[in-house]
A and B are shown apart, each in its own frame.
Chain A
Amino acid sequence: MYRIRFHGRGGQGIKTASRILGTTLFMEGFEVQDGPRYGAERRGAPMFAYVRASMEPIQERGIIRLPDLVIVTDDSLIPIPAAGVLTGVAERTVLLINSDEEPGLWRERLALAGPILTLPAAAHAPHINTQLTSVLSTGAAANLIGVISRRTLEEAIRKELAPLGAGAVEVNLENGLKAFDLTVVLKGSVREGGKTQAASYDPPDWIDLPFEEAAISAPAIHATATSERVKTGVWRTMRPVIDYSLCNRCWWICSTFCADGVIRVDEEGYPRIDYEHCKGCMICVAQCPRHAISAIPEHGEDTGERQE
């Protein structure tokens, strides 16, 4: 059985990518499962989708824990533990990353022994067109799996994207097939994983809790603004940075217009961005009358604190 996991951000078209890949496998005669996973989070938040394909009936359910192929459409997700990109990645797992950094660098960084491939074309897709990264990875994945013909890929893209109109179909076809052709030499590098059984899974680190009354198991919360415990900074792909030499201290502009209320004023009247929660909408960049705020890309491990 093939077990494939896509990791990306809400809005990048991951759900569609897994759907298209699932359709190609179905058209090639496989039994297929495909499904997206996301919570209440929205555009920009980490999410994943997965595909299982087998010539035999699929009895497995739920999240894929031992993937044969992991596709990452946004490399800034890799260092985020909550995104779970590396869950179950073993020596035989192929990791396909949309990144303009070398596979060797990723191997070193992640200390992984298995095959790592990068798709720089996708990383260079224009920012607004992030959806294209998903079709690029679908195209590449189709060839890596090795059992999907170019023609099937073409048909599946047409079929799944038809509701978006002819223009969208053409752009996606062009990019999906381009990625397919680029990966020709790697055809078939992903191999089917064997049968798994519940017993073969490592048991998770369960903590057994006794059944408690509602008052204990679901206590009333009286604390205020607890949402601040949720670090929505991980949604960000671009980071707004204030150049304090240009800042006019008219905080009431950027701070009032900030949709998430994460720009506070310090004692000297300078706006300070809370990067733990800033989602990277860039309204502040658009509104600052002095153009003192600019957007810089978030990079791999460089997600720590940086201001000034």
Chain B
Amino acid sequence: MNEPKFRYMKDLPSARLLGSGTAMCAGCGGLQALHGIYDILGEKTVFINAAGCMTLLSVYPFTPFRGSWLYTSMASAPAGAQGVRDGLDILLEKKRISTEEDLEVVVLTGDGAAYGMGLSSTSGAIERDLDFLYICYDNEGYGNTGQQFSGATPHGARTATSKGPRGFTGFKKDLFSIWAAHRPAYVATIAGAEPLDLANKIEKARNLKGPRLLIAIAPCPTGWDYRPEDSVDIGKLAVRTGIWPLKEYIDGKVVHTKIPHPRLPVEEYLKRQGRFAHLFTPAPDTALIAEIQARVDGYWKGVV
């Protein structure tokens, strides 16, 4: 296996290519991850963005990007990416642009689009072997519209549409496996709170061709109900409790890139967030906490 390009935190780029002054919330974990991603992908990119919080990044005449940006409906960002890729390919073929001027086509959507409405068009794009990157920032709900539940909402979390004593009664979809089952070039999970792992995965994805898809956990102070300063701690805890496994799918195999050892109890993660407060007050819901823990334990039993 090749040596990773970034071995230490201090090897990471310090450029901060993504402009500041955006309308994302103070402490937005999704924005923090996007910074790290953009510093590595660079400005020769075109972003195709489905409706969600990050739509507010580029509000005419302001944009934090250094390249173009296209807004699509929630369900169709990968279809938009197909159009942009085809357009670029035609320009290349007609020699109207040089290979130097070619752009990386990047889809950027929330989980509502990635796990739900946009899943069909993503499936189609992978099927057509579209050469693109898909970045899903996963804040586990419809953040932009007030955190209603989505296909990514974890079991037990309170959302604007799951306010009962047990929170959301469904289960988070395994989008990584759904995507990997299509056998694309690359699939990975990342976390802004783990910048080195993130940087190496983006670097790897950047150098591959075909469909490359990444899911970034996006701790969301507004939707998850915690203080903005806790965003990075919560991202780290998601990894250390084993709730957010860092892994990649490449060459037909799934590899875990950071196996938490020892794994912290899930409470450490849950108790820091208001969306799980009902698991702890007025009395601890030990059964539900144990259920969440058992699910995480079951996952890792299959890994190590």
Contacts and interface: CB of A to CB of B under 8 A. Distances in A.
A182 to B, nearest CB: 29
A281 B59 contact: no
B268 to A, nearest CB: 16
Contacts of A232: 20-23
Interface string B189-231: 0001101000000000000000000000000011000011111
A229 interface: yes
A21 B19 CA distance: 40
B14 A259 contact: no
Contacts of B32: 257-259, 283
A125 to B, nearest CB: 15
Contacts of B297: none
Q: Which of A227, A257, A274 has the most CB of B within 10 A?
A: A227
A281 B220 CA distance: 12
Contacts of A228: 19-21, 64
Contacts of B24: 42, 259-260
A40 B16 CA distance: 23
Contact of B9 (A40, A253, A283): A253
A227 B22 contact: yes
Nearest to B282: A167
A22 interface: no
Does more than half of chain B's interface fall in helix, strand or loop, or is it mixed? loop
Contact of B23 (A41, A226, A258): A41
B14 A261 contact: no
B228 A43 contact: yes
Q: Which of B20, B65, B195, B227 has the most CB of A within 10 A?
A: B20
Given A43-B26, A252-B10, A264 B229 contact: no
Indicate the size class of the contact surface on chain A: 35 or more
A131 to B, nearest CB: 12
Contacts of B59: 40
A227 B228 contact: no
Contacts of B288: none
Given A256-B9, A259-B31, A259-B35, A43 B232 contact: no
B69 to A, nearest CB: 11
A283 B192 CA distance: 12
A169 to B, nearest CB: 15
A222 to B, nearest CB: 9
Interface residues of B, number: 47
Interface in A224-250: 224-232, 235-236, 250
Contacts of B67: 224
A174 to B, nearest CB: 19
Given A259-B35, A264-B16, A226 B61 contact: yes
Q: Which of B60, B64, B65 has the most CB of A within 10 A?
A: B64
B83 to A, nearest CB: 19
Interface in A104-121: none
B12 A256 contact: yes
Contacts of B227: 128, 282
Nearest to B33: A259
A9 B25 CA distance: 12
A260 to B, nearest CB: 5
Nearest to B18: A261
B10 A227 contact: no
A68 B229 CA distance: 38
A221 interface: yes
B57 interface: yes
B293 interface: no
B232 A224 contact: no
A159 to B, nearest CB: 18
A11 B63 CA distance: 24
Contacts of B233: 286-287
18 contacts: A41-B23, A42-B24, A43-B222, A225-B18, A225-B63, A226-B19, A226-B61, A226-B62, A227-B63, A230-B23, A255-B16, A256-B12, A257-B193, A260-B20, A281-B26, A282-B227, A282-B229, A283-B229
Interface of A: 11, 39-45, 128, 218, 221, 224-232, 235-236, 250-253, 255-262, 264-265, 274, 277, 279-283, 285-287
